[in-house]
Every structure is written in structure tokens, then in C-alpha cells.
Amino acid sequence: MSTQPTAGRTLVTRRAVFDIVRTATLGSYGVTGFAAPPLDRLLGWLGLGHPGIGVHLGKALDIELDLTVAYGVPVAEVARQVDSAIRYGIRTAIDRDVRRLTIHIDGLRFGPGGGPPPVVQGDRGAVGPRDLADSGTDVA
């Protein structure tokens, strides 16, 4: 087997790029799905579209995502992880770089436990569950 590269041409389909982006996105921590209008979701179920994912293939690769994230996770951290996962996936799979990646967070989803916990009014001097988080102190 030769290790010398041979001259040739590689063709990458839009479908392949969509699959790489979808897999990298849904594998990221905190992402619950793609956000899209009902008509786009219907086209996605029929296999005629990719709701929540926009890809522009040309000399440069531009990607636009509409996501929903889990309630209670840091949205900025989710966006950083999605960005990193997509750029790594595209670079390793098709050896191209993403020029622009735009991530829109269109909503929060609550887990199987329901909505956000109710606000508990306690004793004024008592330490509550949100006191450390609201203090601005970083905790490892």
C-alpha cells in the first residue's frame, strides 16, 4: 500500500455535511434538539429537509443552527461545545474548515421531571440552594 497521495478529486454531498453536523450537535452536552417551524419539522419527518440546520457549501463552509437546550445548563457552554464538536467533525471527516458557524438558541426544554423548581421562600438568615450560584463564585 502506497503512502504517497494520488491526484484526484473528492466529492462531498450536502447530505454528508448535514449528517456530520447533526451527529456532532446532538452528541453535545445540553442540546435537546433542533428548533424549527412546524412546516420545516414536517418536511424533516418526510425526509425532504433538515429542520434547524442550514449549510452553505461553496469555497467556504457556512453553517447555521437553531437549537433548543436543556433547562438549567449554561447556554454559553453548550454553544462552545457544539461549536467545537462541529468544527472537529468537519475537519476530521472532510478535511475542510468551517468559516462561519452561527448558533441560535431558540428555546429551553424541561426534562422529564417537569418545569423549573418553584421558588422556596425560607428564613431570611438561612442559606438557600441558589445562594452560592447567585454569589458569582466559581465552584469546581
Q: Please report the pLDDT score of residue 25 as a whole number.
A: 93
pTM of whole model > 0.75? no
Q: Please report the pLDDT score of residue 67 as a whole number.
A: 92
Does the residue 106 lie in any domain? yes
Residues in the chain where the model's pLDDT stays below 70: 1-6, 8, 37-45, 47-50, 111-140
The number of folded domains in the chain is: 1
Range of the domain at 67: 32-111
Does the residue 21 lie in any domain? no
Measured between alpha carbons, how far is 3 from 100 in angstroms, rounded to an integer? 33
CATH number at residue 48: 3.30.70
Long-range contacts of 97-103 (CB under 8 A, 24+ apart): 97/61, 98/61, 98/62, 98/63, 99/60, 99/61, 99/62, 100/60, 100/62, 100/63, 101/62, 101/63, 101/64, 101/65, 102/62, 102/63, 102/64, 102/65, 103/65, 103/67, 103/79
Does the residue 14 lie in any domain? no
Q: Please report the pLDDT score of residue 140 as a whole number.
A: 41
Does the residue 139 lie in any domain? no
Does the residue 137 lie in any domain? no
